[in-house]
Chain A
Amino acid sequence: DAGVIQSPRHEVTEMGQEVTLRCKPISGHNSLFWYRQTMMRGLELLIYFNNNVPIDDSGMPEDRFSAKMPNASFSTLKIQPSEPRDSAVYFCASSIQENTEAFFGQGTRLTVV
């Protein structure tokens, strides 16, 4: 398996633009997580899905952020409109079931100017 695949690896966008980050989890994994990493706050959970259903979105910073998982092999994290403070590395991770080892993607480095 190729592991968790995220795209794009890097994204530079202007403030106010819509940004969509994509994630393909490992086949057969039932849980998917979106994390954000910044220098100030470290790694933080934004939202996680179990069997394609959002379970905990308490980490989503505000209404500008939304995440979907239309099927078991694809998820998106959308920011609309983007702001400079959204600049961070966004990681997607998946695990086979609850409370098991998580496998991380390579991350998407987002820069909003």
Chain B
Amino acid sequence: KNEVEQSPQNLTAQEGEFITINCSYSVGISALHWLQQHPGGGIVSLFMLSSGKKKHGRLIATINIQEKHSSLHITASHPRDSAVYICAVNSGGSEKLVFGKGMKLTVNP
């Protein structure tokens, strides 16, 4: 079993829909990261969080430490949100990141 699991693996949505991407992990962590990788290949860090909730524009990330679960929400989705969203954790205080397999999101106009 992978230490970091993401669901779903693929998601297709219509423009304007509210989208939720889930991440579960099985190890103790010091932080959880949400990354975005566009078709061109570049990786951008969206959020780093260790508790509660963070918001940036149309993106909201939440984490529940007790349940070892995090969600990334996209409100009013847009085709430019189409990308692979990757969840990663700093395991046990280490700087080493352990990655999920990623979730490919396609938002159709």
Chain A residues at the B interface, C-beta cutoff of 8 Å: 31, 33, 42-45, 48, 50, 55-56, 89, 91, 93, 95, 98-104, 106-107, 109
Question: A103 contacts B101, CB within 8 Å?
Answer: no
Known: A93-B43, A107-B42; 4 extra A-B contacts, CB below 8 A, are A48-B95, A99-B90, A101-B45, A104-B45
Q: Of A31, A89, A107, which one neighbours B95 at CB under 8 angstroms?
A: A31
Shortest CB distance A10–B (Å) = 11
Bound-state CA distance A100–B35 (Å) is 13
Q: With a CB–CB cut-off of 8 A, which chain A residues contact B44?
A: 104
A104-B30 contact, Cβ under 8 Å, with A44-B99, A99-B90: no
Q: With a CB–CB cut-off of 8 A, which chain A residues contact B97?
A: 33, 43, 45, 102
The binding surface of chain A is classed by DSSP as: strand
Question: B41 contacts A106, CB within 8 Å?
Answer: yes
Question: A99 contacts B96, CB within 8 Å?
Answer: no
The binding surface of chain B is classed by DSSP as: strand
Closest chain B residue, CB of each to CB of A89: B41
Q: With a CB–CB cut-off of 8 A, which chain B residues contact A101?
A: 33, 45, 48
Q: With a CB–CB cut-off of 8 A, which chain A residues contact B94?
A: 56
A55-B101 contact, Cβ under 8 Å, with A104-B42, A104-B44: no
Bound-state CA distance A106–B33 (Å) is 18
Q: With a CB–CB cut-off of 8 A, which chain B residues contact A44?
A: 99
Bound-state CA distance A31–B93 (Å) is 15
Q: With a CB–CB cut-off of 8 A, which chain A residues contact B101?
A: 42
Question: B42 contacts A102, CB within 8 Å?
Answer: no
Closest chain B residue, CB of each to CB of A55: B95
